[in-house]
Amino acid sequence: MRRPLVGALTTLLLAGAGVAGAGTATAATPQGDSPAAPAKAAPASAQAASAQAVSATGPAAATKPKAVDFAGTVALSNCSGSLIRLPGSGDNDPALVLSNGHCLETGMPGAGEVITDQPSSRTFSLLNSTAGKVATLRATKVSYATMTDTDISLYELNTTYARIKQQYGINALSLSADHPTAGTAIKVVSGYWKRIYSCNADGFVHELREGDWTWKDSLRYTPSCNTIGGTSGSPVVDANTGKVVAVNNTGNESGERCTMNNPCEVDENGQVTVRKGINYAQQTYGIAKCFAAGNKLDLDLPGCELPRPTEEEAPLG
């Protein structure tokens, strides 16, 4: 989670939001900028500033067996996201959109809070390979959202994968069912800013703490993925397989310890490490274990480890 998008917009306008990055994304991201933005509506000027697709290629991007582009990503009012397909999803299942829990239109869930089957009519701009908008997708509900142990939101749409493919020629991104490995080349694809960041998975964090929230087994980027406000919810794509392995969510902005916008790493022995300017994502391989046939959430499935709602939070019926 990071500062509101107005802060990120100011920085981008000063640095030149339409400049294509060569090497790293520093042309649009001076030191101190940050990725995830709280669930606020972005100013209209921010959306105008993001009209040109920009690719930021980090020095760690060596080979690219799979071409990674914007097809299947979405832009939210305040964040990024992706149209995703689980390993067990069928063509005629209701499609799903993945973003961050802190990007919810109703505000950030509290520590320990889990949201399931909450009605929603939120809209998403579906992008093609060159970051052009091809459709507006609409949710029927928030299937699942939390900021406990992870930072995810999953929206169920009022249409299917098959209809989206037939009408707009866009395939959903595939969600990997495997834990990523350190050193893997990755791409963070922001539908909001229409930017692609390239780096590697630097390693994994036992616990990542930020304010009231704690996230487990977070993926840490190498420095060239210097994401900014509005990239929250971006899919993190394995450059070798083309599959989504994580969702971008935060980074340490000013070097503070475990405060808002300044997450800290905590190892198994309680040792705290602060990495100013380093950014993180939440892994997504465990999501598939919590959805049954028809993309229906079932937190009682064997192997499902997503946090469950309390009795008070659980939907009636």
Of the candidates 170, 151, 150, the one whose C-alpha atom is nearest the C-alpha of residue 159 is 170
Identify whether 315 is part of a domain: no
**Alpha helices (H) along the chain:** 5-15, 44-49, 161-168
Identify whether 178 is part of a domain: yes
Looking at residue 58, what is its pLDDT? Answer: 46
Looking at residue 313, what is its pLDDT? Answer: 57
Range of the domain at 18: 1-309
Looking at residue 64, what is its pLDDT? Answer: 47
Looking at residue 315, what is its pLDDT? Answer: 57
Of the candidates 167, 169, 188, 81, the one whose C-alpha atom is nearest the C-alpha of residue 129 is 169
Judge contact between 154 and 111, C-beta under 8 A: no
Judge contact between 198 and 61, C-beta under 8 A: yes
Judge contact between 220 and 199, C-beta under 8 A: no
Looking at residue 45, what is its pLDDT? Answer: 39
Judge contact between 94 and 146, C-beta under 8 A: no
Identify whether 314 is part of a domain: no
Identify whether 175 is part of a domain: yes
Identify whether 77 is part of a domain: yes
CB atoms under 10 Å from CB of 178, counted, come to: 11
Identify whether 317 is part of a domain: no
Per-residue pLDDT of the chain (317 residues; tens, 9 = 90+): 744 353 344 334 333 333 232 222 222 332 233 333 333 334 333 443 443 444 444 444 444 457 899 999 999 999 999 999 999 999 999 999 999 999 999 999 999 999 999 999 999 999 999 999 999 999 999 999 999 999 999 999 999 999 999 999 999 999 999 999 999 999 999 999 999 999 999 999 999 999 999 999 999 999 999 999 999 999 999 999 999 999 999 999 999 999 999 999 999 999 999 999 999 999 999 999 999 999 999 999 999 999 999 876 565 44
Judge contact between 36 and 249, C-beta under 8 A: yes
Looking at residue 1, what is its pLDDT? Answer: 74
Identify whether 316 is part of a domain: no
If one counts the domains in the chain, the total is 1
Looking at residue 267, what is its pLDDT? Answer: 97
CA 293 to chain CA mean position, Å: 24
Tokens in use for 292?
Answer: 């049954």
CA distance 21 to 54: 7
Identify whether 154 is part of a domain: yes
Task: Report the CATH number that the domain containing residue 35 is assigned in CATH.
Answer: 2.40.10.120
